[in-house]
Amino acid sequence: MRSCDVLIIGGGPAGLSVASSLSPDILSIIVHQDSEIGKPVRTSGGSFLSDMRALSIPEKYYQLIDRLDFYSDKSEALFNIETDKMVVLDITGLYQYLASLSDDKSRELLLSTKFITTEQQADGSFISTIRGRKSGEETIQSKYIIDATGWQCAVLGALGHGRKPDRTGIGTEYEFEQSDYPMNRAILFVGSHVLSGYGWVFPTNYNRIRLGVGVIKPDTDESPRDVMNALLASGFLDKLGVKVPDDFETNSGIIPSVAFEEKVIFGNMIRVGDSANCATPIAGEGIRIAIEQGRLLGEALSKTIAQKSPSYLQAYEKSYGAKYARDYKIGFWANQRITGYKPADWDKSVRRINSLSEAQMIQLLRSRFNLKSLLRTGFLHLKRKLFG
């Protein structure tokens, strides 16, 4: 039987970041189901420059965005971003970089390995079963186990602490070259072409663009693939200046779209990343938060193990809730509301976005809601109710 101090299930940004911030003397094992870190690509990779710099992510892993355009059927809002600039991440390159940060630690990375189940022992430790494509089935004993499995919440479910989310965002993305597309420009679009969701056009730092659509299940019966096919046939992409060739790569992914839960610590089991619903409820981006929270969790867990005190993990959970709970709850309320929008509602919404300042628009994408913006939104809502 293998043994370690910390067993991490999932080799995405959250799990990799936990491993990179553990103390060098802590033995950890990462179990990752794919044969390579960062492939296949399961996210569009939108984020923010200030966060990447704060996380010390090298510039070669993202494309700088200083223009963001919103489109609906009959409205548009065009922004030149000068302060809080956006980026599009090189997912494969970034994830492999995050993995390299724990290469000098007491860490073992098991690729092409599936998590089967885990059982907690009387002393609080875990006996977990995994299955490698070549090595077959084996068990691992660990004092702690981290659920970084994303929307699947595999460890959480195995231990009876929760289940897969019953509401998810599902996306399909086509990636291809387009030599005449401006690589500093990102697009978000809504309306009749992506009801119960939104679409995007993101340029990459390796001269390709990503055209994607996402929908919320079960709020709609449509699949992202059907939405994409209808979009390609509609002629709407001509308005965006996007030309899809016959040959392209396809990416797809799933994120949770459920109410925020502050509880992430379950004894010696901790969830992080999308298993803890870190994706923002408005734009569905969460890589920066997964990296940040993964690193903070690794530091807290290291102190807990060294001092034999759960207080550090308890403080981590408290700070996580304090930082995100209020904004995520407001954002989730908005998320539920807009999935019922009709094209005319989206036209009005984009017109309202056009009235925002650059800072207000970015805060909306970040799912940040301060008191001033909430009062302004409430006033405008009341005004529309009274005067139409």
pLDDT of residue 196: 81
Q: Say whether pLDDT at 377 is over 70.
A: no
Average pLDDT over residues 317-337: 93
3-state helix, strand, coil split of the chain in percent (to 5) is: 35, 30, 35
Report the C-alpha gap between 314 and 325 in whole angstroms: 16
Of 105-119, 201-215, 286-300, 359-373, the poorest mean pLDDT is in: 359-373
pLDDT of residue 339: 86
| Cα 280 versus chain centre, distance | 7
pLDDT digits (tens, 9 = 90+) for 57-108: 999 999 999 999 999 999 999 999 999 999 999 999 999 999 999 999 999 9
pLDDT digits (tens, 9 = 90+) for 254-269: 999 999 999 999 999 9
Q: Say whether pLDDT at 358 is over 50.
A: yes
Helix residue ranges per DSSP H, 125-205: 154-158
Centre a 10 Å sphere on the Cβ of residue 235 and count the other Cβ atoms it contains.
8
Average model confidence (pLDDT) across the chain: 93
pLDDT of residue 259: 92
Report the C-alpha gap between 381 and 266 in whole angstroms: 40
pLDDT of residue 350: 96
pLDDT of residue 311: 96
Q: Say whether pLDDT at 374 is over 50.
A: no
More confident position, 359 or 380: 359
Of 62-66, 157-161, 279-283, 318-322, the poorest mean pLDDT is in: 279-283
pLDDT of residue 382: 42
Average pLDDT over residues 107-125: 97
Full set of structural domains in the chain with CATH: 2-38+92-164+259-333 (3.50.50.60)
Q: Say whether pLDDT at 385 is over 50.
A: no
pLDDT digits (tens, 9 = 90+) for 3-34: 999 999 999 999 999 999 999 999 999 999 99
Average pLDDT over residues 288-310: 97
Average pLDDT over residues 192-206: 93
Order of all β-strands in the sheet with 209-217: 76-80, 67-71, 185-189, 197-203, 209-217, 168-176, 249-256
